[in-house]
Amino acid sequence: MLLNPRLAMTLALGWWILPSTAEAQPLTPTSAQSRDAEQTADPADPLEPTAQTASRRQRYLGFGPRLGLFWGFGAGLRVGAPQLGLDLSGGYVPVTLFNYRWPTDLSLDGAHTGQLNVAAYLSFRPMSQIVVGLTSGYRYNSLLGHGFGFGIDTHVNFGKKFALHMAAGPAIFPTGDDHYRREMDEPDLGFGFPRPAFQFGTGTGLLYFP
């Protein structure tokens, strides 16, 4: 059976054109494939657990024991914002000083006192692991009278509820020398350093933030 020449030419052209068109036509992904590709190429941003943990810390109210000459051996309460607030503390403070009685007698004496401290604190970068700041405020000593103190205030956070509290600085009692002379009944008593009017101390404490 002989084929029509026109039909044979049409079949030959179709056989040559169809494979070329299939090779040149780009593949079009389905909508489901596009969504999967977008999810793979754009993963969720990773979380920052350190910053989130710091932001969840409660630092508006803390309390705990205090040790050292800066606050006394007692307890303290910290109230306020993490950057700025009040620090209340009190306890037993041993006062150590050099006395001299003209012209030759020099002695190291001490006294047992109680002390109340009301101070403001200012913290830098309060949500970091180690917080450094300043403190200054009023002090009342049962022997030395009214005074004020200032110094460096630092605490090291560990966990969400605890911090190691440290401080150091001087305390000044303007009438401390006279108070001590009256207590000792020695109006001509002289002092070296440290003296009643000028004390220096360090302190360590534990802060619990409920």
| 127 inside domain | yes
Q: How high is the pLDDT of residue 160?
A: 85
pTM, 2 dp? 0.69
21-62 pLDDT, tens digit each: 444 455 555 555 555 545 554 444 444 444 444 445 778 899
61-92 pLDDT, tens digit each: 999 999 999 999 999 999 998 889 999 999 99
- Low-confidence winner among 58-62, 115-119, 125-129, 169-173 (lowest mean pLDDT): 125-129
Q: What is the mean pLDDT of residues 115-131?
A: 90
Instruction: Supply the range of the domain harboring residue 137.
Output: 61-208
| 186 inside domain | yes
Q: Has residue 20 got a pLDDT over 90?
A: no
Q: How high is the pLDDT of residue 6?
A: 58
CATH number at residue 194: 2.40.160.70
| 143 inside domain | yes
Residue pair 65/206 in contact by the 8 Å Cβ criterion: yes
| 153 inside domain | yes
Share of the chain above pLDDT 70, in %: 71
| 190 inside domain | yes
| 15 inside domain | no
Residue pair 73/91 in contact by the 8 Å Cβ criterion: yes
For residue 149, name the pLDDT band (cuts at 50, 70, 90): very high
| 85 inside domain | yes
- Low-confidence winner among 38-47, 119-128, 186-195 (lowest mean pLDDT): 38-47
| DSSP string over 119-185 | EEEEEESTTSSEEEEEEEEEEEETTTEEEEEEEEEEEEEETTTEEEEEEEEEEE-TTHHHHHHHHHT
Dist. CA 119–CA 179, nearest whole Å: 23
| 91 inside domain | yes
Of 91, 209, 70, 208, give the one whose Cα is nearest residue 142: 91
Q: How many domains does the chain have?
A: 1
Q: Has residue 102 got a pLDDT over 50?
A: yes
